[in-house]
């Protein structure tokens, strides 16, 4: 019996998280731990049959980083992927790897502008018995 797509996506997403590119690692450092206006981002997250570089599920915002291979080799694939994500209600932002390194503040400002002003409320931490 063939392996189902979800398990392949999860396995691949875990591998991609472990083997992030330098640009992904650089941006993740700025996005993790709700450092961007309190919004939570996930990295290398499966959405449907795709794995996106970064996603803020609460704001339905996908952030993709493109290296040189995206200029020609993957243009059609990227367009189909973006169209599908938009059809699912996501907004998609794309940045070149070079911009992530050379214009990090600009990239973060653009992402912040795409997020709603207030993040959704976070559940309060649960306390153990007797607390």
* Joined tokens for residue 124: 């309060």
Confidence at residue 129, expressed as pLDDT on a 0 to 100 scale:
45
pTM across the whole model: 0.78
Higher pLDDT, residue 33 or 19: 33
Q: How confident is the model at residue 130 (pLDDT cuts 50, 70, 90)?
A: very low
Backbone angles phi, psi at 87, to 5 degrees: -65, -20
Q: How confident is the model at residue 2 (pLDDT cuts 50, 70, 90)?
A: very low
20-42: pLDDT as tens digits: 889 999 999 999 988 888 899 99
Confidence at residue 109, expressed as pLDDT on a 0 to 100 scale:
96
67-114: pLDDT as tens digits: 865 456 678 888 999 999 999 999 999 999 999 999 999 999 999 999
Distance CA 98, CA 23 (A): 8
Contact residues for 70 (Cβ-Cβ < 8 A; gap 6+): 78
């Amino acid at each position: 019996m063939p392996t189902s797509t979800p398990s392949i996506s999860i396995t691949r997403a875990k591998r991609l998280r472990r083997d992030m590119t330098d640009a992904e690692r650089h941006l993740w450092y700025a996005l993790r731990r709700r450092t961007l206006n309190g919004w939570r981002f996930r990295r290398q997250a499966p959405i449907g049959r795709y794995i996106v570089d970064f996603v803020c599920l609460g704001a339905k915002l996908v952030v993709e980083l493109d290296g040189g291979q995206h200029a020609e080799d993957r243009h059609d694939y990227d367009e189909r992927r973006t169209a599908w994500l938009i059809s699912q209600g996501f907004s998609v932002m794309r940045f070149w790897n070079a911009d992530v390194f050379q214009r990090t503040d600009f990239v973060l400002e653009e992402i912040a502008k795409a997020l709603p002003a207030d993040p959704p409320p976070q559940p309060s931490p649960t306390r153990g018995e007797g607390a």
